[in-house]
Amino acid sequence: MATQAYSPRRDELIDRYLAVRGLSLGLAEPLSDADATLQPCPDASPAKWHLAHTSWFFETFVLRDHVADHQPYDARWAYLFNSYYDGEGARHARAKRGMLSRPSLDEIRSYRAHVDEAVVRALPALAPAALSIVELGLQHEQQHQELMLTDILAAMAENPLKPALWPRTGTAAVRPAPAMGGVQRPAGLYEIGAEPGGFAFDCERPRHAVALGAHEIANRPVTNAEWLRFLEEGGYATPTLWLADGWDWVRREGVEAPLYWERDGGDGWLRFGLDGLHPVDPAEPVCHVSYYEADAFARWAGARLPTEAEWEAAAAPADPESGNQLDSPGPVRPWAAPGTGGLRQIFGDVWEWTGSAYLPYPGFRPEEGTVGEYNGKFMVNQMVLRGGSCATPRGHLRASYRNFFYPHQRWQFCGLRLARDL
């Protein structure tokens, strides 16, 4: 069975639980109640909703289901903070989460403290099945930490004052990115998917063999400098570069550059991030582009996007905790590539669009019960991204990790790496 369930070590779980839960609070520390209530678009959620929803997950699937005589903190809140679990009944409309002025941010912090105290108290006596749910909840919260950062960025970008959540300290010298090269990969059978044992989401299994043709994968992501060339050479105005749906999207939305880019009043561009508004750094990986944009760029460059199998086979030897990832509250942004050999920035910096649709692996079966709704029911009309970003908590990634979004979405830290057939 394809499953994420496994029993973590009980003696390590309390420390991990407190660390993960503490980081979420740290990320929200600079926010006012008003900041934490904003919902800039239906795809995003308010920061305080993220803080409450992740607590609801532990209260529901750990405390309610595995701790005798547990009483809910506030029975009404399940309706507010359930996300998409149909098995848990009716829920507040996603697009209206920004209307939840009550409960306040402080009330939600109190809710978190209540849940944390109860979970830590219960952990020593929880059965292995419940410990597996605690582990799933921690991995789930790490996903929401990244979502919370991207959603905060989307909210701050709507403010004409362009506030910096974490102002940039110092000014790094702008240097060119190393020239893009390629790593050649021979044809053959490759194993992809999560290994048995250890945590993995259900969509990462079963592990299975795939046949790949000979191909080359770029040794680093596409940079802002390369994207500027695409832009200046009419990439956004050339219909033959775009998929039909993508071209319709470009015209309908008036897209002319990556999200959060704006002209500086002359010939240059500025980029808004969690560190405020700054000139676009040519050496940084391009970020906040949709699948449609990534696909069009690859076609303009005479290349293509790698398949997720090609990406995973190439990334398998790399350390998933390497690279620019989230370690603590503070400025979050992609970094320029280091000038070393081999595949660079394969983990961290930007999620990399692949040319693969998000579909079940052969033999996939979701978990039984409500937690089985976690991934499987979203396996349609979305594309796979790989590798994590500067906003992904360190320790959360694996080579087999599958992220997925709709082709038009770009408010996440999404970029691309090129590939081509040999």
* Residue range 240-269, pLDDT digits in tens: 999 999 999 999 999 999 999 999 988 899
What pLDDT, on a 0 to 100 scale, did the predictor assign at position 372?
Answer: 63
Statement: the pTM of the whole predicted model exceeds 0.75: yes
How many Cβ atoms are within 10 Å of 41's Cβ, its own excluded?
A: 14
Q: What CA–CA distance (Å, rounded) separates 296 from 382?
A: 17
Q: Omega before 196 cis (within 30°)?
A: no
Average pLDDT of 112-116? Answer: 98
Q: pLDDT value at position 3?
A: 46
Helix (H) or strand (E) holding 10: helix 10-28
Instruction: Return the residue matching tokens 């990406």.
Output: 311
Residue-averaged pLDDT of the chain: 93
User: How far is Cα 401 from Cα 388, in angstroms, rounded to an integer?
Assistant: 8
Q: State the pLDDT at residue 292.
A: 98
Residue 120 predicted with pLDDT over 90 = yes
| Angle at the Cα of 78 from the Cα atoms of 73 and 82, rounded to 5 degrees | 135
How large is the average pLDDT for residues 217-245? 97
Q: What are the sequence ranges of the domains in the chain?
A: 10-157, 182-421
Contact at 8 Å (CB) between 41 and 237?
A: no
The predicted pLDDT at position 378 comes to 85
Cα dist from 291 to 61, 178, 356, 391, 415, whole Å: 34, 25, 11, 19, 9
Q: Is 270 helix (H, G, I), strand (E, B) or coil?
A: strand
Q: Is the model's pLDDT at 401 over the cut of 80?
A: yes
Q: Which residue has the tokens 């660390």?
A: 19
What single-letter amino acid sits at 215? Answer: H
pLDDT of residue 170: 66
Q: In the CATH hierarchy, which top-level class contains the domain 10-157?
A: mainly alpha
What mean pLDDT do residues 408-421 have? 98
Helix (H, G, I), strand (E, B) or coil at 278: strand
CA distance 274 to 163: 8
155-177 average pLDDT score: 85
Question: Is CATH 3.90.1580.10 correct for 182-421?
Answer: yes
Mean pLDDT lowest for which of 110-114, 345-349, 374-378? 374-378
Q: Is there a shared CATH topology between the 10-157 domain and the 182-421 domain?
A: no
